Amino acid sequence: MTTPAIMLMVLSLLIVWGGLVVSIFVLRARPERADYPAGGDDDHREDDHVVEHDT
């Protein structure tokens, strides 16, 4: 491999792995979102039976 190819490979590896490391640190600093938008009321759809269609 030539010197420019090795430099480009090292640069791309630093970008990819550096982005992974930065994202891990950001997720450790703020693991969950605290300000969710207001949602709707629970309509208990999981309590209903599954609708079966005759096809």
Is residue 44 scored above 70 in pLDDT?
no
Read off the pLDDT of each residue in 9-37 and give the average, rounded to a whole number.
Answer: 89
pLDDT band at 22 (very low <50, low <70, confident <90, very high): very high
Is residue 48 scored above 70 in pLDDT?
no
Amino acid identity, residue 4? P
Query: What sign has the CA pseudo-torsion 17, 20, 25, 28?
Result: negative
Q: Which domain holds residue 2?
A: 1-31
pLDDT at res. 39: 72
Residue 27: inside a domain, yes or no?
yes
Residue 51: inside a domain, yes or no?
no
Which of 5-9, 26-30, 35-39 is least confident?
Answer: 35-39
Show the tokens assigned to 53. Answer: 């269609």
Q: How many domains does the chain have?
A: 1
